[in-house]
Structures are given as structure tokens and as C-alpha cells.
Structure 1
Amino acid sequence: MAAAPRVVAELGRPETADETAARKAASSAAYRSSKTFRNLIVALLVTVAVVAVVVFGVPRGALPDPEPADVAASAASASASVGQPLLVPVVPEDWRANSARLEGTSMWRVVYAPPEGFIRVAHGLGASPTWASETLGGLAPTGSVTIDGIVWDEYTIPSAAQTAAISYALATDAGADTVLIYGATDAETAAVAAEGVAEQIRNLRKETP
């Protein structure tokens, strides 16, 4: 004897064959959607686990520091292209030379990293009298100081006027050229760089008619 059709509470009557098919289809779609979502979550968790292993589990050594710049060799090469000697500062052994290059045809610049801050020694070739001030953003000297017989214009730069963290600078002529020592530094450290180029500045002055 055939079973009586099931009465659906929501309908208050037995459901039709079409309604039964629709209900089963909806149930099947909901099941597949739920399974797909669970699979997505599982895949995401697996991906996170793999990334975590790569990031935290694979040993990685620190990148080696780049070799310091060879200031003397770079100066010799650049001097040949501009036809005049360029400054090779004499500085303490713990001052790292980060770069030494000719910028255009008008400036030779060496960048050092002393134990604290940074300092640049710039040699302006045939620079105008205002070149140092222009390089420092238009600042005027705040005084003068004599270092190893060389008189330098001194720039003590207050925090409000600092650009690129430049806090102190020294400038002097070297014959037809200008030498500018500047950086995130203090008077004592800048004086070390000034002493390291004093003799070369005197030689440049002698060579200028």
C-alpha cells in the first residue's frame, strides 16, 4: 500500500512533486555552498600555515654591508675628467665612506658616516661666492672659526631651519673653488673633517693665480 503524501506544515497540505523537487534542489545547493565555504577556509588556513613556515622557519642570514667607497681611487678617476685635483679627506678609521662621486662637472662630494650622524665634504669647482649658502638653502653664516690655519664661515643651523637634517656646516674658499663641510653633525666632528682637508686647501690656493 503506497504511503500517503507527507503534509508540509508550512503549506498545510501535501507538497506537489514540483515542490518536492524544488525543496531538494535548494537543500542540495545549500549543502554545496556550505561545503565550498568550508573548503575555502581550509585552503586559507593551509596557505597561512605555509607562509608562517617560510617567514619564521626558513633561516635567513643578514645582508652583508656594502663595501665602503674608495675615496682616493674615485677622486683620481674624477680628477682626470675635470682636469684638476679633487679633495681626498683624511679622516679617522672609524668613519665609513658611503659614497664619493663627481656630481655633474661642478661638484665633487664625499659622504661619511662617523660614529654618529653623517657628514659631507663637498668641493665646488669654480663655485660662485654664494654657492655654499645656496647649497644650505639660502642660510647665511652665523660666525667664523679658524681650523688648522684656515678661516671657515660657520653655519649653526637651528632646528626650525634644518633641511635634510643638516645641523652644522663650514665653508671656505680653495682658490677658485669652494669647500663645504656639512651634515647631521656638530662643530667638533666637522672640525675633524676640516683638518683632514686643510693642507689640500692650501695647495689649491697656491695653484690659483
Structure 2
Amino acid sequence: MSKPPPIIAELGRPETPDETAARKAASSKAYRSSQTFRNLIAALLVTVAIVAVIIFAVPRGEPVEAAPLDVASIAEGVESTMESPVLVPELGDFWRANAAELQGGATVVWEVTLAPKADTERGFIKVAQAFDADSSWAPQVLNGTAPTDTVNIGGLEWDVFTPSSSDANANVSYAIGTQAGDDYILLYGSRSADSTAELAESLIPQIRTISEAS
């Protein structure tokens, strides 16, 4: 003898086949929805975990400081090429060299760009040695600026150049130059006259050597 269908409390009677099918369909839909939501949450948690591993696994050290430019080594190659001594500024604790190169053209120039090491100091000075040149070469570099005065530094007479506008002269606001045998030495940049003169003073022995070698 078959068992009579159970009475559903909400209905007060047994379910009809259609009501049973509808109830099961609704239950299945609710289950699938809950599973989709759970899967989404699980995927998000996995993603967050992977990102966290990447972030904490990557080394967080300070950037490696670039090796200082070996001006002396570069200068040796230039001396060999030009068969002549060249200036090698002493950097000491104040200066760092940002560039050092032999520039070709109508006048060949050995140039070293210096800037202060300290963050509290500003400006730059370019030390240029123009081979087989004289003071007439300097205005070509200084946008036509001619010398306006002379100054004695280390027993040598230096031409003084004061560009009227640093903006029109690649931020160059002051320059001094002197003859060294067949070459012309020019120090130009945005540092003060005193700072430029101090650098010039340190180059005097080398300038004399260049003069004697000519």
C-alpha cells in the first residue's frame, strides 16, 4: 500500500506535482547562486594573496647608486688621441663629474661637466679645453658673448665673460678663460665667480703643464 503524500504545513494539504517541481527548481536556483557567490569570494581571496606575496617578495632596498665617472681613465684615451696633455679636474669632496667627452667639429674640445655633490648646492661648471684655439673661440660657445674684463687667478690672466641673459646661454651666467700654449681653457656655467675662480686655481698646475708641452 503506497504512503500518502505528506501534508505541507504552509498549505494545509499535500503538494501538487507542479508545486513540488516549482519548489525544487527554486531551491536549486538558490543553491547555484550561493555557490557562484562563494566561488567569486574565493577567487578574490586567492588574487589578493598572490598580490601580497609579490609585494612582500620583491626586494625593497634603496636604488643602487651609479658608479662615479672615471674622468682620469677617459682623459688617458683623449691624450692618446690628441697626443697632448688634457685637464683632469680634481673632484675632491665637493665636485662630481656628470660628463666627460671629446667633442669634434671645427674646433676639437675636451670637456668635463662638474656639479656639486651636496643637494644643498646648486649650479654647474664646464671645464673645456679647446685644442689649437684662442680667445676668439669662446664667444662661439657663449652665444656671442665677448670678454668684458680680466682677472688674475693663480698668476695667470683670465678673460671674464658675463652673458647678459643666462636663459639665452643654456643657463650659463659666468665664464672665465685663459690661454694654455696652443689651447684655450674655458670654465663656464652657473656657479658664482668665487666658486669658478676656486676651481680655476686648482687647475693652474695642469694648465702650466699644457703650456709647457705646446
**Interval of TM-score (by shorter of Structure 1 and Structure 2):** 0.5 to 0.7
Query: Which residue number corresponds to residue 95 of structure 1?
Result: 94
3-state secondary structure, aligned to 1:196: helix
> Counterpart in 1 of 2:15?
none
What RMSD in Å do the two structures reach over aligned CA positions? 3.9
Picking from 42, 46, 51, the partner of 2:49 is 46
Tell me, yes or no, if structure 1 residue 32 matches structure 2 residue 35: yes
Q: Deviations over 1:105-125 (max 9, x none)?
A: 422122334453332212123
The aligned runs of 1:68-107 (5 Å cut-off) are 69-71=70-72, 73-89=73-89, 91=90, 93-98=92-97, 101-105=100-104, 106-107=108-109
Give the corresponding residue for 2:184.
178
Identity of aligned residues (%): 24
Q: Distance in 1 between matches of 2:92 and 2:78?
A: 23
Normalized against structure 1, the TM-score is what? Answer: 0.66
Please, what TM-score do these two structures have when normalized by structure 2? 0.65
Query: Residues 172 and 178 of structure 1 are in contact (CA less than 8 Å); yes or no, is this contact kept in structure 2?
Result: yes
Structure 2 match to 1:197: 203
Q: Which runs of 5+ in 1 are unaligned?
A: 8-13
Task: Please say which of residues 60-69 and 145-154 is displaced more in the overlay.
Answer: 60-69
Is this contact kept in 2: 1:152–1:170, CA < 8 A? Answer: yes
Amino acid at match of 1:144: D
Question: Secondary structure in 2 aligned to 1:84?
Answer: coil
Return closer, same or farther for 1:36/1:192 CA change in 2, 3 Å cut-off. same
Counterparts of residues 114-133 of structure 1 (less than 5 Å): 114=116, 116-117=121-122, 118-126=124-132, 131-133=137-139
Q: 2:153 aligned with 1:154, yes or no?
A: no
Which residue in the other structure is 1:108 paired with? 110
Stretches of structure 2 lacking an aligned partner (at least 5 in a row): 12-17
1:140 to 142, 145, 149: 145
Do the aligned residues in 2 keep the contact of 1:142 with 1:155 (CA within 8 Å)? yes
Q: Give the superposition deviation at 1:201.
A: 4.0
Q: Deviations over 1:160-203 (max 9, x none)?
A: 4463x544332344454332212341111111122233454456
Distance 1:184 1:108 in 2: 19
Instruction: Select the structure of larger CA radius of gyration.
Output: 2
Q: Distance in 1 between matches of 2:98 and 2:202?
A: 17
Please tell me whether the aligned partners of residues 149 and 159 of structure 2 are also in contact (alpha carbons under 8 angstroms): yes
User: How far off its partner does 1:3 sit?
Assistant: 4.5
Q: Distance in 2 between matches of 1:157 and 1:16?
A: 97
